[in-house]
Amino acid sequence: MQTTWLKILEHLRPSLRGQRDEHGHVGSLRWLEKQMEAKNANPHAVRNIIYREIGTAEDKSTLFQIIANLYEQNNMELPEPPEGARDVASSRVMKQASQLLGRQKKRAYRQFIAGIRAGRAPRMVVVGRNGVGKTILIDHLERSLRELGVQESYRLMLDGEIAPSLTSILELSGANAESLARLHSGLPFAVQASLQHEVARLIRERMEGKILLVRIGNAPNTIAGTQPRNALGESISLSRWVWENLFLPLQTTSTSVLLALSDPREVHPHYKGEVITLKPPTLEEARRFLTTRMPATPSEADRLIRQSGRNLEQLALIAGLSALGSGARVHDVRTVLSDPEVRALLNVLAAAILPGESSAPRFVVEHALGRPLGTLPEVYRNLMDDTSSKTVRVVSRDLLPEVKKHLRPDELARAHRLASEAYARALENAREGEKAVFEERMLAHLARSGAWAEVIQWVSKHGERYGVLADAWARARRQVHGAVLESLARVVAGYYAALGQYAHPDARDAISVMLESNDTGARAWGRVKLAESAIDRAAYEAAQNLLNNQDIQDVLSGKETSEIARVTRAEAVLVQAALARWQGDLEAATRFVNLAVEYASEADSTLSNRTKLWRGLIMKDSGHWTEALNDLSAILDRDPLLYARARYQEGDLRLRLGQPFPAVTALKEAHDALESAGAALEERARVTARYATGLRRLGRISEAKVVMDEAERLSQGTDPVIQARVISEKAPIMLAMENFREGLRLAQAATQALRIGTERRQEAQYREWRASYRIGLAYLARGLGNPYLPPFPGPTFDHPDIQVARGILHRVLEEATPYTHTADRYTILITDILLNLAAAEPDAHKALVHAKRALDLTNHSYAEAQVRATLADVYLRMHEPDKALAEVNRAHALLRRAALGMQDPSNQTRPDPGVTSALISLEARALMQTEPDLKATLQWVKTAMQDPDLAGFKASVMREIGKALEEHADATQAQKTMLEVFPQLKGCELSARDALSMLV
């Protein structure tokens, strides 16, 4: 025989045919079991209920709800619930009643619920002093009404400023709160009264046939800042206003109303119905109430009860706070938030502790709260860890996310505003390390408070720091429009443009806002950013087309004179300069950049610095190094990104000019500034790699390896050209460490990566030649058997690896030579290739040809000093030591001249240590061939190499000195003299070159 449950299910199944989800066939027993499990009911009860009608009332009720939902989804008439599923709601209602304390509350509860269930519209008034449980009564009524599913119920908790509560109930019920929005204290009293009565009328209309639960508190009450008023415009109490506008008019409607008052004197004189007086709980009732809601020993419970004065709402609050503090989620957080002081504290904590952080400074919390934490009641302080420390941390990680769901946006915004004030005050006396942090948090709180005018005013001056407001754009998009939104859009787009992150969703959205502007200058500015983006991805034709847009042409012609138009004119010309530079037209680039500098002087200082940075870069490319250094060194650290880029370009140029000490200082500053500014990984990788190269040039190889490893990590996932550039630049470091195999692998990997198609073809081609040159360098170093460190003399014999090196270097030389005079970097590349071809040529006469060809390309002191050193080595191999010494002397003079070119006087006596070490080695080798006093020569070398600047090159220098001693005409005398100068080598069986190189 079929059970009622099975009949209901069988009737439904034809409509479910073919329906499946992640739990299987919809309506199957297995599917029903999964649904029961999801609703925290017993899944194993499904078969017993359907086939045998055996199961608990709760499980039957849950199962029937699941089946009833399927009926509704398939537009089928709902069946009557089977026996056992009907009485669950009633039993839960009775359970709610049993949890209430005191006969009066239970009577009020049962009487109101009975009226609802009987289909009547009960109207009830309860009165009781604070803490007797009026809010608890309303909470239980709400839960029971939800269980019964009889009618919609709404609560009005009126305490203090009641406009938010009235707005909430109007919006929840689908009414328009426009009348309330128009209400303010500046209106005539009669108009205030009229608007208040209109609000009440709307509530009455929306409550028709529904349930309204009202509680009036003791705080001074206002409605949108106005006093409650009667029809004549006279000021009245809030309770009188509720009686006359809500409770009494609703007597003749189908609305059910419960009105909870605190004072019997608040009962309206014309009300003739029953008033139920609620009494405070007994000690035993209070104890039972508390211990069923929180774990507490009897003595602890009694202490809390005495502390609360048997105030039920205080005890409910204590229990709720205990649940929050232990990480649990209270059934209804409104129990906790109903207390104004707790709500204020939780608003402050939720605001002060920013997303992603676990604590906030104590001074911020106390300022926003308006009182020291030590004055809070103990039960409130239990929400926080040690409140005596300088930071405030909540006891549970889950507390604030759960509470935030129930906080009012206006109160939370007010707390954020107060937190921003606290940080602003703290900035006045902040230590250097604290300023940036306090500034960032001040801005973050300002943005979250909705103070957009102040946010925009600040970020317009310090746009490079927009990154501290990571979510500001999303917030602004929801909250502001028009000119305010455009102002922020300009900052947002400018920020991401400065990082080179044109494809960031916020950047694209911000640019689109500018393109949709009614202002020509704003639209032109947006198009300039698009043109910058096109250049960044090497789409030069697209960039030119964007510059030809009419809006930009109007700005360039001077027709538009607004502030943004003046800025846009300078930026558009700067884009023209960049476009010309990338196209190899340095003359046009110089002309445009000078014009951009002129226009920028009429705009703002940040733009002026940008144009000077670009002019420095173009001067550097053009070989006008003094002018380049003047521009680059003039950029100060107000804008971290511009400052970092200027330091990077300055460091790179100083490396090129033979000034490695200030170069490494500048590169280190660039490295640190980019990291603190949150620059793009691509840019950080590039600068870090150059910093590592600077360290290598100083002979600090171990440090260089660590820094280059960092660059390689940063480059992962970035542009292929950047990745290849980094590993290519790492190769010489590995060669300096005599890891020839790894150096070869890196250079080859870079070459392969650069041959893959890329939009940046011109840059990739140059980097490919550099990487191929380094493959040749790796074969040369391995063939010579020497680390790639000065001194790096050429061979007197040939070797298969050296032959491979020559072949690669000749091939790159042939391909790159046509580009020699298009930009300074090609000249440097050709010079490097020629010098290493000289070092790879065992035929000294052929080597001399390469060196002299390199000499013809030199255009500054340092480059010439390097070539002169190579010439000296060639002449030594040609057995012409006098010519070698002459070249060494010229090279020393050129190095000193290069050092004198530095702007920092403290560095004027510190020429390039690598070339200096090479020259010491070359001079000593020449003197060994021309001077009879070998001891004096060795003593001079020993003294010279004690210079700390030369420490990284000492082993290589001493290796070459030892090699020269081994090849000395009088080898016996040379060995004897070596032991006199270096007595620690007595008894050493190693060769002179090995023994001396190990003295380091």
Mean pLDDT is highest, among 164-178, 267-281, 379-393, 771-785, for: 771-785
Over the range 327-340, which residues count as b (16 or more CB within 10 Å of their CB) and which as e? eeebeebbbbbbbe
pLDDT the model gives residue 775: 97
Are residues 309 and 381 both part of a single domain? yes
- The more confidently predicted of residues 784 and 305 is 784
Q: What is the pLDDT of residues 255-288, one digit of tens each?
A: 999 999 988 899 998 888 889 998 877 777 667 6
pLDDT the model gives residue 563: 85
Q: Coil, helix or strand for 194?
A: helix
pLDDT the model gives residue 66: 85
Please tell me the distance from the alpha carbon of residue 823 to that of residue 586, in angstroms, as a whole number.
Answer: 8
Residue 673 belongs to some domain of the structure:
no
Are residues 138 and 256 both part of a single domain? yes
Share of residues in the chain with pLDDT > 70 (%): 88
Q: Closest by alpha carbon to 546, among 523, 580, 513, 516?
A: 523
Are residues 235 and 305 both part of a single domain? no
Please tell me the distance from the alpha carbon of residue 311 to that of residue 303, in angstroms, as a whole number.
Answer: 13
Q: What is the pLDDT of residues 616-671, one digit of tens each?
A: 999 988 888 889 999 998 887 777 888 999 999 999 999 999 999 999 999 999 99
CATH number at residue 231: 3.40.50.300
Are residues 67 and 139 both part of a single domain? no
Pairing of strands 24-25, 123-127: unpaired
Structural domain span for residue 73: 4-86
Q: Which residues pair with 158 in a beta bridge?
A: 216
pLDDT the model gives residue 294: 63
Residue type, 684: R
Contacts 24+ apart (CB under 8 A), 186-191: 187/226, 188/233, 189/229, 189/233, 189/234, 190/232, 190/233
Scanning the structure block, which residue is given the tokens 């409140």? 387
Please tell me the distance from the alpha carbon of residue 772 to that of residue 808, in angstroms, as a whole number.
Answer: 7
Residue 433 belongs to some domain of the structure:
no
Q: What is the pLDDT of residues 489-517, one digit of tens each?
A: 888 888 888 888 888 888 899 899 999 98
Average pLDDT over residues 782-798: 94
Domain's final residue, options 382, 410, 438: 410
724: left (phi over 0), alpha (psi -120 to 50) or beta: alpha
pLDDT the model gives residue 178: 81
Are residues 218 and 270 both part of a single domain? yes
| Residue 603 CB neighbours (<10 A) | 19
pLDDT the model gives residue 726: 95
Q: Tell me the residue ranges of DSSP E strands in 850-899.
A: none
Residue 308 belongs to some domain of the structure:
yes
Question: What's the pLDDT band for 330 if we cut at 50, 70, 90?
Answer: very low
Please tell me the distance from the alpha carbon of residue 200 to that of residue 203, in angstroms, as a whole number.
Answer: 5
Give a three-class secondary structure readout of 478-544: HHCCHHHHHHHHHHHHHHHHHHCCCCCHHHHHHHHHHHCCCCHHHHHHHHHHHHHHHHHCCCHHHHH
- The more confidently predicted of residues 139 and 298 is 139
Asked if the model's pLDDT at residue 241 lies above 90, the reply is yes
Asked if the model's pLDDT at residue 966 lies above 60, the reply is yes
| Residue 432 CB neighbours (<10 A) | 6
The tokens for 359 are: 């604590």
Domain's final residue, options 410, 432, 448: 410
Please tell me the distance from the alpha carbon of residue 965 to that of residue 950, in angstroms, as a whole number.
Answer: 21
| Residue 843 CB neighbours (<10 A) | 13
Are residues 319 and 399 both part of a single domain? yes
- 750 near 771, Cβ under 8 Å? yes
- 756 near 792, Cβ under 8 Å? no
Number of domains in the chain: 3
Are residues 24 and 51 both part of a single domain? yes
Residue 466 belongs to some domain of the structure:
no
Q: Closest by alpha carbon to 359, among 381, 379, 386?
A: 386
Are residues 262 and 196 both part of a single domain? yes
User: Rounded to the nearest 5°, which phi and psi values hold at 827?
Assistant: -60, -45
Please tell me the distance from the alpha carbon of residue 290 to that of residue 891, in angstroms, as a whole number.
Answer: 91
Residue 336 belongs to some domain of the structure:
yes
Asked if the model's pLDDT at residue 328 lies above 50, the reply is no
Q: Coil, helix or strand for 2?
A: coil
Sign of the CA dihedral 380, 383, 386, 391? negative
Are residues 39 and 110 both part of a single domain? no
Domain's final residue, options 86, 115, 146: 86
Residue type, 111: Q
Q: Closest by alpha carbon to 978, among 793, 994, 916, 913?
A: 994
Pick from 28-32, 76-80, 242-246, 796-800: least confident: 76-80
Residue 896 belongs to some domain of the structure:
no
Please tell me the distance from the alpha carbon of residue 943 to that of residue 954, in angstroms, as a whole number.
Answer: 11
- The rounded radius of gyration (Å) of the Cα atoms in the chain is 42
Please tell me the distance from the alpha carbon of residue 16 to that of residue 31, in angstroms, as a whole number.
Answer: 12
Residues 6+ apart with CB under 8 A from 431: none
Mean pLDDT is highest, among 448-457, 474-483, 955-964, for: 955-964
Q: What is the pLDDT of residues 728-752, one digit of tens each?
A: 999 999 999 999 999 999 999 999 9
Asked if the model's pLDDT at residue 92 lies above 70, the reply is no
Are residues 257 and 318 both part of a single domain? no
Please tell me the distance from the alpha carbon of residue 907 to that of residue 904, in angstroms, as a whole number.
Answer: 6
Residue 31 belongs to some domain of the structure:
yes
pLDDT the model gives residue 480: 78
Residue 349 belongs to some domain of the structure:
yes
Are residues 93 and 52 both part of a single domain? no
Are residues 112 and 181 both part of a single domain? yes
**For residue 236, what are the CA distances in angstroms to 109, 200, 243, 359?**
30, 15, 11, 45
Instruction: Compute the C-alpha angle 76/77/78, nearest 5°.
Output: 110
Cis peptide before 791 (omega within 30 of 0): yes
- 836 near 777, Cβ under 8 Å? yes
Please tell me the distance from the alpha carbon of residue 995 to that of residue 1000, in angstroms, as a whole number.
Answer: 10
Average pLDDT over residues 936-945: 94
**For residue 907, what are the CA distances in angstroms to 849, 869, 914, 950?**
35, 22, 16, 15
- 239 burial (CB, 10 Å; 0-12 / 13-18 / 19+) is buried
